[in-house]
Amino acid sequence: MRLAASTLRRAGLRTSLLARGAASSGSQGPLSNNNNHNNTNKDNNSDNNNNDHHNNNNYNEELLRNYTRLISAAGRQKQTREALRLLCEMEAKSITLNVITYNAAIGACSRSHCWESALGLLSEMGHRLLEPNVNSCSAAMTACDRGGQWERSLSILREMLSWGPAPDAVTFGAAISACARLGRSDGQWERAVGLLEIACLRRVGLDVVCFSAAITACEKGGHWPGALVLLFAMMQSGPAPNVISFNAAMSACAHGDGRHWWRALALLEDIRSSRLAPDAVSFSAATNACGRGFAWQQAIGLLEHMRCCGPEPDVVNYSAAIAACEAAQERRQALQLGRQLLLSGLVNSGEAEQKLEERLLGKFDSLPAAATTTSNEKSVD
C-alpha cells in the first residue's frame, strides 16, 4: 500500500511538471487546468487513505497491547475465566491475536491449574498458523504439572526435543517438578535425574529451581544418595544451593532405617557455612531425621536452639520433636514437650487443643506411678 502511494505521488509530480511546461510554452487551456486539478485531488486522496490505514494499524496495535496487559493482570490474580473472556472479546472485535497474547492466556491457565484450557490454547495457536515459542510450551507444561497431568507435561517436552522450540531452563524445571510431585510413583526420581542429565548435555543453563526440584524428586522417592550427590554437585560447581535445596536433602536423610540422621545435622551446619539462614522447615527436616534414628536428645536440642536463637518454632517443629521422643519410648519427654506446646499458644483451634490434650493425657496415664510423681515434681519446680 505504501509503495503504491509513493508511485502515485511520483506520477502526480510528473504531471504537475508537464502542466507547468505547457503553461510556460503558452499552451494553457481548460483541459490542461482540469488535468492538473484532477491529479492534485488524486494525490490528496492517496495521502488521506495512507494516513487512515496507518492510524487504523496504530489503533489495532494499541488495542492488542491493552488487551494483552489485561489478560496478564487477570492471570496474576488467578482469574482465568476473565482472561479467557477477554480473549473471546478480542476475537469478537476482529483483533488479530499474536503469540504474546496467547502466552499471557496460557500463563493465566497455568496459575489456576487449568491444564485443559492451556492445552486447548496451545492447539489453537497451531490452527491459526502461530508457532508456539518456548514460553508457550513452558506455560502449558506448568499447567499440566500443577494439574497433576505429568504425562502430558513430559509429552510436550518430548515434542520440543524432537521438533522444537528448544527447551530452556524453565521448560526442564517444569518437567522435573512434574516428576517430583509424583513422589514414590514408578521411578520418578530416576526420570527427574535423567531430565537433568539431558539438560546438561544440551548445555542448558540450569538454575537452582531445576536442581532443587530434582533433589525433591529423590527425597520423595526415598533415594537419599541421589539427593546428596545433586546437592554436593551444586555446592562444588553451581548453581549455589538455596535453603530449599538443603531442606529437600535433609528430608531425604530421614528416609530408610534412620541411620543417616547425623547427615541431616551436618547439612544444617552446611546451611550456616553457606551464609544462608535455616528456616523452620530446615529444623523440622533435621528433627524428623533425628526421630527416625531415635536421636531424641538431638531433636530436643534443635527445638531448644530454635527457642533460644530462632527461628521461632511452630507446631510442626514441636510435633517433630514429640514424635522423636515417642519413637525412642521417651514418654515423659514427649509429655513435657506437649505441655510446652499447649502453653506456647501455637495451638489456636479448640478442637485441635482438645485432641492434643487427650493424646498427652493418654500417654501420661500410661506411665508408672513413680514416673508420674517425678514428672509432677519437675513441672512444679
Q: What is the pLDDT of residues 253-264, one digit of tens each?
A: 988 778 899 999
Mean pLDDT of the chain: 81
Q: What is the pLDDT of residues 35-45, one digit of tens each?
A: 555 555 555 55
pLDDT at 345: 83
pLDDT tier for residue 350 given thresholds of 50, 70 and 90: low
pLDDT at 35: 53
Task: Check whether 277 has a pLDDT greater than 50.
Answer: yes
Question: CB–CB of 73/86 below 8 Å?
Answer: no
Which residues, other chains included, contact 278 with Cβ-Cβ below 8 Å and sequence gap of 6+? Answer: 243, 246, 268, 271, 272, 311
Domains in the chain, ordered, with CATH? 242-381 (1.25.40.10)
Mean pLDDT of 164-186: 87
Of 96, 88, 77, which is closest to residue 117 (Cα–Cα)? Answer: 88
Q: What is the pLDDT of residues 103-158, one digit of tens each?
A: 999 999 999 999 999 999 999 999 999 999 999 999 999 999 999 898 999 999 99
Q: What is the pLDDT of residues 287-333, one digit of tens each?
A: 999 999 999 999 999 999 999 998 999 999 999 999 999 888 998 99
pLDDT at 344: 85
pLDDT tier for residue 342 given thresholds of 50, 70 and 90: confident
Task: Check whether 378 has a pLDDT greater than 60.
Answer: no
Write the burial class of residue 243 (CB in 10 Å: 0-12 exposed, 13-18 middle, 19+ buried): middle
- Better pLDDT: 58 or 73: 73
pTM: 0.72
Q: Which three cell numbers stand for residue 319?
A: 510435633
Residue recorded with cell 527461628: 311
Task: Check whether 376 has a pLDDT greater than 90.
Answer: no
Dihedral sign of CA atoms 47, 50, 55, 56 in order? positive
Q: Which three cell numbers stand for residue 250?
A: 535433609
pLDDT at 26: 43
Mean pLDDT of 69-74: 96
